[in-house]
Amino acid sequence: MRLLENKTALITGGSRGIGEGIALKFAEQGASIAFTYLSSDEKARALEAKLESLGVKAKGYKSDAGIYAAAEQLANDVVKEFGTIDICVNNAGISRDNLLLRLTQEQWDEVIQANLKSVYNLTKQVIRPMMKARSGSIINLSSIVGIKGNGGQSAYAASKAGIIGFTKSIAQEIGSRNIRCNAIAPGFIETDMTHYLKDGGAEKWFEKIPLGRFGKTEDVANAALYLASDMSLYVTGQVISVCGGMNT
Ligand code: NAP
């Protein structure tokens, strides 16, 4: 028996990187997959085909995670198409790294909207079908930067720290309805988001990783699978660091 048989997962930012890794991992375990993206139409169509080739129902939705009305529309569309939402992964995110002296209001707002408001937007929508089903698992992508901070990433770190406070509060609000809410705090995972660091300052991170390597999207997807599945039925309000020991 696969771990996510008969479940529907909604994953934001599924067209690339960690979101794509989670979509593939969940599909391998039997879940139907609804995923979102912002502009990568071709990658989204390719992922739909890949997921379908694994024998599951899959659909990509172009939907801006930072816009409340878009999240409302998305949740309605997914419930209409898939019947319910059992698992929600708030993964969509961006980084706009800059020292505070140079960080503009626009950059601050952009990061907070895409990374933090997005989590409010969609969580508020998915708890309705989950309450009806009296079960659900919400997984939010934070970062170890949200725990430790990082010079040059104040907006990003604030958004990721905000996700942790939100996750713990929501876990307390909806635990009695058998809906769980947890966060994953990845370290340095090899994706487009971190690609530019590998050309420059990657070494300073690398030296701080006890397991001696950068993370792969599959490392994060494995933690997401645990939190999505019944393997973690007694786990809520927690932050799991997937960072090769960086946050120790
Ligand atoms: P990525 O490779 O840059 O991919 C980002 C994904 O999010 C893409 O699918 C992108 O869609 C989507 N997206 C961005 N803004 C969106 C919006 N407003 N609405 C809908 N979709 C949007 O990023 P990643 O490295 O996989 O990161 C995924 C999550 O993990 C993020 O929340 C990130 O902060 C977190 N994280 C990553 C790392 C790391 O080392 N990579 C570490 C800690 C935490 P398009 O393809 O259409 O642009």
Q: pLDDT digits over 129-167, tens only?
A: 999 999 999 999 999 999 999 999 999 999 999 999 999
Please state, in angstroms and as integers, the Cα–Cα distance from residue 67 to each residue in 64, 106, 109, 118, 245, following that order: 6, 16, 13, 7, 35
Instruction: Please work out whether the CB of residue 40 comes within 6 Å of at least one atom of ligand 1.
Output: yes
Separation between Cα atoms, residue 70 and residue 58, nearest integer Å: 19
CA-nearest residue for atom 3, ligand 1, is 193
- Is 156 a known active-site residue? yes
* Strands of the chain, DSSP E: 8-11, 32-37, 58-62, 87-90, 136-141, 179-186, 239-242
Q: How far is the CA of 1 from the centre of ligand 1 (A)?
A: 31
Q: Which one of the listed residues 61, 120, 156, 226 is annotated catalytic? A: 156
Instruction: Please work out whether the CB of residue 156 comes within 6 Å of at least one atom of ligand 1.
Output: no
Q: pLDDT of 180-229, one tens digit each?
A: 999 999 999 999 998 877 666 667 777 889 999 999 999 999 999 999 99
Q: How far is the CA of 196 from the centre of ligand 1 (A)?
A: 14
